[in-house]
Amino acid sequence: MLAEKKERVIMGIDPGTSIMGYGIVLEKGSKIELITMGIIRMDHMDDHFLKLQRIFEKTTLLLDEFKPDVLALEAPFYGKNIQVMLKLGRAQGVAMAAALSRNIPIAEYAPRKIKQSITGNGNTSKEQVAAMLQRLLNFKETPEFLDATDGLAVAVCHSFQRVNTSGAGKSYSGWEAFAKDNKKRLKQ
C-alpha cells in the first residue's frame, strides 16, 4: 500500500460571472493553513464569452502558480432564473476545464454542504462563514468581497471531507462536533 501524502494544496472556487472567489489552503497532516484567497472581477465586462475567457485564463494562472493537488468547486445552486443557472454552470465548467487541462482532480460540493461543514448550519450567512474561517485559519483581514471567503470555504470543506473519510471513517454532523473531536487542529 502506498503511503498517503502528508501535505497537499487545495484550491477552492466559488464560480461567478461577475466576481469569482478563490481560496487556497495547505493541508499538513491534520492542520490547515491559509495560503491565499482573492477574487477575479468581471463585473466591468459586458461580453459573457470574454468573461469565460478571463475565468479560464486567471484560473490557469492560479493553478500554475500554486500547483494545487485538487480543485474543489461550489456547485451552482438551483434558482428560479434559468439564465443565471446557465451562466453559473458555464463559469464552473470553464474553471473545471482549466483544472482538467493541468490534470488536476476536481471535487464539487453543494452550497449547503459547504456551509454545514464550516459552521455546522447549512442555512448560515456568508458573513458567518467568513467569521468562522477567520477563527479557524487565524487571519484578521476581512476581504472586500465575501466571494473570496466563499472560495476559501470550498477548499476547507474539501479538506474536512478527507479528514472525515480517512482513518476511522468517522463523519461529523457539523462544525461543533468536528471541533470537539479535533481540538489539536484548531489554532488558538
User: Is residue 1 assigned to a domain?
Assistant: no
- State the sign of the Cα–Cα–Cα–Cα dihedral 182, 131, 36, 42: positive
Q: Tell me the residue range of the domain where 110 lies.
A: 7-182
pLDDT tens figures, 103-154: 999 999 999 999 999 999 999 999 999 999 999 999 987 777 799 999 999 9
Is 57 annotated to bind a ligand? Reply is no
Is residue 163, in this structure, part of any structural domain at all? yes
Decide if 178 is inside a domain.
yes
Which value, to the nearest 10 degrees, does the dihedral of the CA atoms of residues 174, 175, 176, 180 take? 110
On whether the CB atoms of residues 153 and 23 are closer than 8 A, the answer is yes
CB of 108 within 8 A of CB of 155?
A: no
> What pLDDT does residue 162 have?
67
Q: What percent of the chain has pLDDT over 90?
A: 69
**Residue 74 labeled ligand binder:** yes
| Catalytic option among 46, 47, 64, 147 | 147
Residue 18's Cβ-side half-sphere holds a number of Cα atoms within 13 Å equal to 5
pLDDT of amino acid 177: 65
> Does a structural domain hold residue 144?
yes
For residue 16, the domain's CATH number is 3.30.420.10
What are the backbone dihedrals phi and psi of residue 56, each rounded to the nearest 5 degrees, phi first? -60, -50
Domain total in the chain:
1
- The confidence score (pLDDT) of residue 176 equals 66
Tell me which of 7, 14, 27, 46 is the catalytic residue. Answer: 14
> What pTM value is reported for the model?
0.83
